[in-house]
Amino acid sequence: MNLRRILLALDATAREWRGLEELAALAARLEAELVGLFVEDLDLLHAAARPEAREIGLASASAQVFDPQALDRTLRGLARRAERRLAEVAGRRQARWSFQVARGRVPAELLGAAAGADLLVVGRSSRRGTPRRRLGSTARRILAAREGPVLLLPPETTLQAPVVAWIDAAEDVPAVAGVAGTLAAAAESSLTVHLAADTPEGAAALAAAWQEWSPGGAPAARVVAHGDAAALARARRDVLAHAGVLVLRQGGRWLREAGVEAVAEAVGPVLLVS
């Protein structure tokens, strides 16, 4: 798979994204352009313009009439901060980069801009401090509509080894293993491929599909086959806890059974291939 244009959704937390350094390094190794997009949220601006809108001061806890113009200035300041952060990191990693600002509804703007991108990178969660990891509303809407790879990047984690490909259907071997192999090679990471079935016959079919495809350019990989339900359940828990980057098909069996929210339980980033 060729990754020539990587679209990165940036927001007020851009400075806190530990994975930004690795993304810029990845773009540099792939000779890809890293495009940062900051969306001024139209829903937020509309809400601020309502006459009953109020803002609560953190220090005073007092309610004041919301100033839409002040919000507009704040958003412009946040966009400038995100652009500086992207320029700083991309420059350090010698990656090609550009920056755009759009105004509209966040998922729609990201999906529109991503039409010309090979990979869309979005934050995985919109909330912090909750006991259980959850997908943010923007991430859920992107996954429901995006036709193309999406990397869900938690702000507190980095792209690191190992890259893990999870394959639970023979027809998914080229797409999932191809993307995972490209990522592992560019990130100079090891690659582990899980052939995930709950019967010995299913495992044999996946192994045959892997063998048929792998001479066509598969990178060196550690291949693990699972052929019973108990082993499959253990493997799922293990990759959620230990994968540096987990690559799987969005419409694959795992997420059909558990729901897309299951990827929120992963400790590291998750790359979903459609």
pTM of the model: 0.89
Give 243-259 pLDDT, tens digit per residue.
999 999 998 999 999 99
DSSP run (H or E) holding 247: strand 245-249
- What is the per-residue pLDDT across 183-232, written as a single tens digit (0 to 9) for each? 998 888 899 999 999 999 999 999 999 988 875 545 578 999 999 999 99
State the CATH architecture for 5-44+71-153.
3-Layer(aba) Sandwich (3.40)
pLDDT at 64 over 70: no
- State the Cα angle at 263 between 262 and 265, rounded to 5°: 75
Name the pLDDT band for 71 (thresholds 50, 70, 90): confident
- Architecture label for domain 163-273: 3-Layer(aba) Sandwich (3.40)
Residue 97: exposure state from Cβ atoms within 10 A (0-12, 13-18, ≥19): buried
Residues of the chain with CATH 3.40.50.620: 5-44+71-153, 163-273
- Cα separation, 222 vs 232, in Å, equals 17
